[in-house]
A = this chain, B = another copy of it.
Amino acid sequence: MAKLFFRYSAMNAGKSTALLQIAYNYEEQGQRVALFTAAIDDRTGVGCIASRLGLQRQAHVFDDRTDFYAALAQESGLACVLIDESQFLTVEQARQLHRLANVGNLPVICFGLRSDFQGNAFPGAAQLLTLAEDVEEIKTICACGRKATMNIRLDASGQRVHAGEQVEIGGNNRYLQVCARCFYQGAT
């Protein structure tokens, strides 16, 4: 029986690289995968999963109105569904993916952030954390050397921003991963 997997991390950990590696692993075995990323994340072009290491690949896009049952009904013979930027899923979409894995017997592997620049949960990520049968962290480091688990937002001049909308797509230089101590006490 398949499972719902959630691979979470702070910004700049290598989530997209890990996703592209898994896609490669399946395809090397002659198996088909479906890739999705959030339409809203257009940093490297709509529907492009891009790794800071230079890897990139086109994917289906999802937004709040995507019905994953319908979207995946068109695909046959899938071995796995891989979803990047899954913090932008709705709570209902996270539940759809949980059913697809456990009732539809289709492995679903989601990659995403846990918390926004204020330390609040992304609702879709919180639902994935709540339901996933397999939860793992992709680790990365804070400038201070501790493990980074939080994200801060910077303005154009590199100053930390404490207020604003939860979602504001920006380049890697608009967000910085930090450990919780630097998040609460950092000079930045």
A180 and B98: CB pair below 8 A? yes
The oligomer's copy count stands at: 4
Complex Cα–Cα for A123 and B53 (A):
33
Which residues on B sit within 8 Å (CB–CB) of A28?
12, 52
A24 and B1: CB pair below 8 A? no
A13-B25, A28-B12 as given contacts; A79 in contact with B145, CB under 8 Å? yes
Nearest Cβ distance between residue A122 and chain B, in whole angstroms?
A: 8
Which residues on B sit within 8 Å (CB–CB) of A183?
102
Nearest Cβ distance between residue A152 and chain B, in whole angstroms?
A: 14
Which residues on B sit within 8 Å (CB–CB) of A102?
179-181, 183-184
A131 sits at the interface (CB 8 A): yes
Nearest Cβ distance between residue A176 and chain B, in whole angstroms?
A: 10
Nearest Cβ distance between residue A173 and chain B, in whole angstroms?
A: 11
A72 sits at the interface (CB 8 A): no
Instruction: Supply 25 A–B pairs (Cβ within 8 Å), ascending by A.
Output: A12-B25, A13-B25, A14-B22, A14-B25, A17-B17, A18-B21, A25-B140, A25-B141, A26-B141, A28-B52, A31-B141, A53-B55, A55-B55, A79-B145, A98-B180, A103-B184, A103-B185, A114-B129, A119-B130, A119-B131, A121-B129, A126-B127, A131-B149, A133-B147, A135-B137
